[in-house]
Amino acid sequence: METTVTEALQELKTIQKRIQSKRDGILQYTTRSGDKVDPLQKEAGGSKGWIDRELQAIRDLQTRFVRLRTAILLSNLQTELELHGDKRTIAEWLVWRREQQRDEGQFLQGIGQSIGRARNRSYVGEDKEPDVVVNVDEGQLREDAEKFVQLSSDLDGKLSLLNATTTIEVE
Per-residue pLDDT of the chain (171 residues; tens, 9 = 90+): 999 999 999 999 999 999 999 999 999 999 989 899 999 988 878 999 999 999 999 999 999 999 999 999 999 999 999 999 999 999 999 999 999 999 999 999 999 999 989 888 877 666 667 678 899 999 999 999 999 999 999 999 999 999 999 999 998
**Co-location of 33 and 65 in the same domain:** yes
**Co-location of 32 and 96 in the same domain:** no
Helices (H), 30-168: 46-78, 90-99, 101-121, 138-165
Read off φ and ψ for residue 86, nearest 5 degrees. -110, 115
Task: Give the pLDDT score at 88.
Answer: 97
Which residues, 6 or more positions from 111, have their beta carbon under 8 angstroms from its beta carbon? Answer: 136, 141
Task: Give the pLDDT score at 142.
Answer: 95
Task: Give the pLDDT score at 138.
Answer: 94
pTM of the model: 0.80
Rounded to whole angstroms, the Cα distance separating 142 from 149 reads 11
- In-domain check, residue 171: no
pLDDT digits (tens, 9 = 90+) for 79-120: 999 999 999 999 999 999 999 999 999 999 999 999 989 888
Query: Are residues 40 and 47 in contact, defined by beta-carbon separation less than 8 angstroms?
Result: yes
**Co-location of 64 and 97 in the same domain:** no
**Co-location of 92 and 38 in the same domain:** no
Residue that finishes a domain, picked among 49, 78, 107: 78
Query: Are residues 170 and 68 in contact, defined by beta-carbon separation less than 8 angstroms?
Result: yes
- In-domain check, residue 97: yes
Instruction: Give the chain's domain count.
Output: 2
- In-domain check, residue 39: yes
Query: Are residues 52 and 23 in contact, defined by beta-carbon separation less than 8 angstroms?
Result: no
Three-state DSSP state, 123: coil
Rounded to whole angstroms, the Cα distance separating 95 from 76 reads 11
What domain range includes position 11? Answer: 1-78
**Co-location of 15 and 74 in the same domain:** yes
Task: Give the pLDDT score at 81.
Answer: 97
- In-domain check, residue 170: no
**Co-location of 97 and 69 in the same domain:** no
Rounded to whole angstroms, the Cα distance separating 111 from 138 reads 9
Task: Give the pLDDT score at 111.
Answer: 96
